[in-house]
Amino acid sequence: MLRIVLLNPKGGSGKSTIATGLAAMYAARGFRPTLMDFDPQGSSLRWLEKRPPDRPVIIGIAAYARNLAVTRSFQLRVPQGADRVIVDTPAALEPMRFHDHVRDADAVLVPVLPSDIDIHSCSRCIGHLLIDGKIKRRENRLGVIANRVKPNTIIFRTLMRFLDQMEIPVVTTLRDSQSYVYAGEQGIGLHELNPARVQPELAQWELLWSWLESRRQATAPVETIVGGA
């Protein structure tokens, strides 16, 4: 099983869009993904509620909601048979909680937008992941996604220089596209749209797919608790 965590305490970085896109991508390719939403806004699960019934199944877990009728461990248990788990973490997550969410992750993705504020926030986030999250660079499970980029702009070049200095791999760059908005409104992902319409975006996601699948640990147990209590 592959466990993928989207994390960036700054709101609006695109965590939910990427989390739902990943879930749809894996479902479209015949996997059995589970989408675990820790964000109290519930954006990922709202997307899932819109999903047409004829689309491949994605299991959703409302990790942000406390169910007093069952234990927290039972509530967060991954369904039997799930082979990909995508975790959408909340905005404003305290650094002391980073380790709770990433300790069992095979891949930790940090989306960052091309702006001065987001670059600064990303720098702090990566620093806390290395220290508070206890992620070691040699583990090679931490990656950055440059999100909503407009190539050939000054701020994009600034972002790429910054990421190069951080010595954390830039897994892919996702361009600013209305296709994400359209797919989100339908409860589907880019991989479920007409390929001819989104070919440039699909090429960018293929880089993400390749990197994530290279993180897979075949010995990971199927039933695992993901995230913090």
Containing domain of residue 208, as a range?
2-215
| 119, two tokens | 């670059």
Q: Output the pTM of the full model.
A: 0.91
Question: Distance between CA 203 and CA 172 in Å, rounded?
Answer: 10
pLDDT tens sequence across 116-152: 999 999 999 999 999 999 999 889 999 999 999 988 8
Q: Is residue 175 part of a domain?
A: yes
Contact of 79 with 59, CB cutoff 8 Å? yes
Q: Report how many domains make up the chain.
A: 1
Asked, for residue 10, whether it belongs to a domain, the answer is yes
pLDDT interval class at 226 (50, 70, 90): very low
CATH number for the domain harbouring residue 41: 3.40.50.300
Q: Please check whether residue 228 lies inside any domain of the structure.
A: no
pLDDT of residue 152: 85
Among the listed residues 9, 31, 214, 18, the one whose alpha carbon sits nearest the alpha carbon of residue 106:
214
Residues 223, 206: Cα–Cα separation, whole Å: 27
The pLDDT score that the predictor gives to residue 193 is 97
Residue 120 included in any domain: yes
Percent of residues, the chain, with pLDDT higher than 90: 83
pLDDT per position as a tens digit, 5-35: 999 999 999 999 999 999 999 999 999 999 9
Assigned domain for 226 exists:
no
